[in-house]
Amino acid sequence: MIDSINPTAKTIGTLIGTLILGLTFQWQVNSVVALLCLLFLVTSKRTNPTTLLKIMVPITLISLSYFFTGWIFSSEQALFALANNSVPSPSGKDFVNGLKLGTRIFSFAMLGISYSLTTDPHELIASFIQQARMPMKMGYAILTAINLTSLIQRERDNSKLALQVRNIPVKPFDTKPMFTMMIRMVRWSERLSLAMESKGFSEDRVMQMQMTIKRRDILFAVGLPMLIAILGFAVF
């Protein structure tokens, strides 16, 4: 169901929802939001289970690391630790502090992926152009760059190989291949813009893909932030 939400509405809803979530500090709210996002993800046709799993690993890892940091290095704990050198115990304030921090990061990330994994690039750009007044030029520049991603990747490998066959070793963080890539991108931008404009591209054009705002889009954009606010400030 989340697939069919208008991307601009989805962006606004998720964005405000995330900001409100940032103002609440209860681990219960975080967990509910994370669960809700998981529901979005599972019901979406666009998410690939393997991708989802792959992306969940680092998210879990980061959340855990925040959990431990919050637990071991909580600000109250720090004051306390100055007085007597106690070992953190799995109950009490510090643990909850860790839990708060860990679930906070986790729910942010879940909101994030339930947005990015369920949105189609073409629709997103079309919707931004039509509903959010993104300049045509900007939208199509982004689409073009995305379409050229694999070519850029190939180019990158080539520019590294070009150095290696000249007997010049390439170290990590070496600026040489980077420099070559930058030059090529300057050139590409010239050629691509010429190609696009000489095909008549300008702000004044029609689009085959029409994105619209329906009632349920507004419901989502208003509903998600409201839900989080109610959970955060009224329920828990």
Partner 1 sequence: MNRNKLTLRDYLLMALISVVFGVLYLMAVYAGTALTTILTPFGLGVLGYEPFFGIWFMAAIITTYLIRKPAVGIITEVIAALIEVMLGNMFGVMVLVSAFIQGVGVEIPFALTKYEKYSYKIAMLSALSAAVLSFLWTGFRSNYLAMDWRIVATIFVIRLLSSLFFTGYLSKRICDKLDEAGILNHNLETGEIIE
Partner 2 sequence: MKSLNKLALSVEDLSFEIGGKKRIDSVSFEVDKGEIVLLCGGSGSGKSTLANIIIGYYPEYGGKQDVSHIRISGEDVQYQSVVERSESVRTIFQNARLSFSMKTLREELVFILENSRFNPDEMNGMVEDKAREFNLDYLLDRSFDDLSGGELQRAAFICADLVDVPLYIMDEPFANVDEETMQDYIRYMKELVRKGKSVVIIDHHVDRWNWVDRWLLLDSNQQLHDLSLMASETTKRELLTKEGIVVDASAVPKRDLESKEILLELDKVTLYHEKTIRKSLFKKETQTTTLIEEAYFNLNKGSLTALVGPSGIGKTSLFKAILNVSPYKGEIRLQGKNIKTLKPENLYSKIGLVFQDPSLQFVKTNVLDEMVLSLTAWEKLEDDQAETKAREILDQHHFENKASQSPWVMSQGQQRRLAVLCMTVGDQNLLLVDEPTYGQDARNAKKIMDKLNELCRQGVTCLFTSHDRDLVDAYADQVYEIKEKKVCQVR
Contacts to partner 2 from residues 172-211, by CB under 8 A = 176, 179-180, 183-184, 188, 190-192, 194-202, 204-208, 210
Structure tokens at 108: 């942010």
Candidates 99, 105, 74; CA nearest to 88 is 74
Residue 162 in contact with partner 1, rule: CB under 8 A: no
Instruction: From the list partner 2, partner 1, none, pick the one residue 167 interacts with, judged by a Cβ distance below 5 to 8 Å according to partner type.
Output: partner 2
Closest approach of Cβ 104 to partner 2, in Å? Answer: 31
Residue among 19 and 209 whose Cβ is closer to partner 1:
19
**Cβ–Cβ under 8 Å, residues 4 and 45:** no
Q: Which residues from 126-145 bind partner 1, rule CB under 8 A?
A: 135, 137-138, 140-142, 144-145
Q: And the tokens for 172?
A: 């990590």
Considering CB distances under 5 to 8 angstroms, the limit depending on partner class, which of partner 2, partner 1, none binds residue 65? Answer: partner 1
Q: Does 77 bind partner 1 (CB under 8 A)?
A: yes
Q: What is the DSSP letter of 171?
A: -
Does position 209 interact with partner 1 (CB under 8 A)? The reply is no
Q: Which helix (H) or strand (E) holds 87?
A: none
**Residue 154: CB minimum distance to partner 2, A:** 9
> Which residues between 41 and 100 bind partner 2 (CB under 8 A)?
45, 48-50
Using CB under 8 A as the binding rule, the residues of this chain from 180 to 199 that contact partner 1 are 181-183, 185-190, 192-193, 196-197
H/E element, 53 = helix 49-72
Question: Does residue 89 belong to the site contacting partner 1 (CB under 8 A)?
Answer: no
CA dist 88 and 180 (Å) reads: 52
Cβ proximity of 9 and 221 under 8 Å: yes
Q: How far is CA 196 from the centre of its chain?
A: 29
Q: Segment near partner 1 (CB under 8 A), from 7-15, 160-168, 209-217, 219-227?
A: 7-15
What is the number of other CB atoms lying within 10 angstroms of the CB of residue 37? 23
As to burial, measured by CB atoms within 10 angstroms (0-12 exposed, 13-18 middle, 19+ buried), residue 104 is: buried
What is Dmax (Cα atoms) for the chain? 74
Stretch that binds partner 1, among 17-25, 26-34, 204-212, 218-226 (CB under 8 A): 17-25
d(CA 181, CA 190): 14
Which positions lie near partner 2, rule CB under 8 A?
45, 48-50, 140, 143-144, 147, 150-151, 155, 157-159, 161-169, 176, 179-180, 183-184, 188, 190-192, 194-202, 204-208, 210
